[in-house]
Structure 1
């Protein structure tokens, strides 16, 4: 999967441009019941933000230290307490996996490293006149752990089921946003941010950057930096150029307005298939997986369908999904 020009690449135009699960009583329900008993008396109604009935999966996940709730009580820092917290979190994830129709329970990632790995530009992805001062461009993060990173681009489809699904499964992902697709509903991505999603820069209008002048590239990249900071309170560190295409100006401009790294991708996920950059058509430790905020009008499935497909591939191969920003 090489970098290609518009019309032959994904990330906005190439391959295609552009249900709610039900909790059933079964083997996993006993696990959920145990988690809910453990959570009794701890103010579960707060999980729903009012008087509406609490979603049992979200409550259980919250009480197990998942997004949406306080960490489990106990002797913080003790090995036993941390082990119990991890056990409860994985039990909640197993219940959520059944609710959302996953083929298996996603594996838990290891603790992030105390020191982030040193990143360099992938061989063959250098720019003329570039040096180590420019943001590195890479498709895989250096690690020996069986982890991969999930990233979503553009921002066209804004499926509320995706937000709930990813929170209940406790699967981290990073979003790279293009303003022309996001501006009609900034609040959707604010909710994603509240749930732990880090928002990155994917330019204002998703244009082919090497074909633009220096000033035009500056507007596409740096103005998007300003908008994300204004809307979400944080200036992105990570930038993904549309179609994976860039030149020396792109990287120098990105650096000038706060970008420190340019993660591309090693594989791309769709609801019905995977597409691979490497010849072995497989995952590797530290690989970055690309997908898009798209739905049934563009794809053979919904965003939750895509997650079910990509998580089956990841889990079957023995990998866990880690948080990209913990490593980059």
Structure 2
């Protein structure tokens, strides 16, 4: 499946550079066109060269300004280092399969996974439920240009849908809103119909409130059975990302034995504040980003890969 993501700044820069070089080469050659036409007048060639050069310079200037703004934002929010810039996403999204040990007997169901298959040194940040609605989180993530995916439960977001609408619209790096059920219940303890109501009902809420039926679903507590996946598939879910590590304001928790990050790992955290843990959401982002950056990883947008 080909990614619909726009080209990255790095990709655009390369394209502009190629265009500028091609323009210069054409001007220097003075060769006739394919139909034997005379070469363009020198003044026209010069204007073309200047246009290509100007576009490239404008792009480079924009990149410099964006990087400078990111450095200032990192200082403002107390990060040890600015976040690393993610590489361009793959032109073709990797094939996602269910992680070994996470299978059910059903075939053709949405894959359940904790890591995206990629060799790029990127990880993916995901935030669950929606209980804490901290405006500082929106400002911080917007200024740092950190992409993330929010998995929402209606019972805690319905008192302020506007907060998540602002999140979706204001985030420069892009935020996607996904399904975490209506009421955050333990799904394997429910019947198929009850699970269908929890999952498909949240699909309807997100589509109505935020304009798009989400393709991703995360079961509460990471617990599911075959009925969960069947119900999710019935209402348009394509994949079920779990997580490889979890971030808190004061520590990280790890699924893997080596207690480390790996290319394509999904990082989980929650919309929580001081009432639930030792710190604010910006404290948590500061902690997790310092870990991610110190290990040489960038945060990429999950939807560019899945």
Give the TM-score normalised by structure 2.
0.80
Q: Which of the residues 89, 105, 112 maps onto 2:66? A: 89
Residue 212 (structure 2) aligns with: 234
User: In the aligned structure 2, how far is the partner of 1:307 from the partner of 1:102?
Assistant: 9
TM-aligned CA deviation for residue 85 of structure 1:
3.9
User: In the aligned structure 1, how far is the partner of 2:61 from the partner of 2:298?
Assistant: 19
Residue 268 (structure 2) aligns with: 290
Matched, 1:213 2:188: no
Matched, 1:263 2:241: yes
Larger Rg: 2
Deviations 1:91-149 (A, max 9, x none): 21111101111111110000111110000000000012x22x21110000010011000
User: In the aligned structure 2, how far is the partner of 1:75 from the partner of 1:278?
Assistant: 38
Deviations 1:246-287 (A, max 9, x none): 111111110110100000000000000000000000000000
Residue 152 (structure 1) aligns with: 127
Residue 127 of structure 2 contacts residue 270 of structure 2 at CA under 8 Å; is this kept in 1?
yes
TM-aligned CA deviation for residue 83 of structure 1:
5.0
C-alpha spacing 1:286/1:167, structure 2 compared with 1 (3 Å):
same
Residue 90 of structure 1 contacts residue 108 of structure 1 at CA under 8 Å; is this kept in 2?
no
User: In the aligned structure 2, how far is the partner of 1:305 from the partner of 1:127?
Assistant: 38
Deviations 1:30-49 (A, max 9, x none): xxxxxxxxxxxxxxxxxxxx
Matched, 1:99 2:76: yes
Aligned counterparts, 1:98-137, within 5 A: 98-128=75-105, 130-131=106-107, 133-137=108-112
User: In the aligned structure 2, how far is the partner of 1:216 from the partner of 1:309?
Assistant: 38
C-alpha spacing 1:115/1:151, structure 2 compared with 1 (3 Å):
same
C-alpha spacing 1:159/1:127, structure 2 compared with 1 (3 Å):
same
Deviations 1:42-71 (A, max 9, x none): xxxxxxxxxxxxxxxxxxxxxxxxxxxxx9
Aligned counterparts, 1:157-172, within 5 A: 157-172=132-147
Deviations 1:153-180 (A, max 9, x none): 0000000000000000000000000000
- State the Cα RMSD in Å: 1.6
Count of matched residue pairs:
254
3-state SS of the aligned residue for 2:227? Answer: helix
Which ranges in structure 1 are unaligned for 5 or more consecutive residues?
1-70
3-state SS of the aligned residue for 1:254? Answer: helix
Aligned counterparts, 1:11-160, within 5 A: 77-79=15-17, 80=56, 83-128=60-105, 130-131=106-107, 133-160=108-135
3-state SS of the aligned residue for 1:184? Answer: coil
3-state SS of the aligned residue for 1:275? Answer: strand
User: In the aligned structure 2, how far is the partner of 1:249 from the partner of 1:86?
Assistant: 48
Residue 147 of structure 1 contacts residue 287 of structure 1 at CA under 8 Å; is this kept in 2?
yes
TM-aligned CA deviation for residue 89 of structure 1:
2.2
Q: Which of the residues 155, 158, 178 maps onto 1:200? A: 178
Residue 320 (structure 1) aligns with: 298
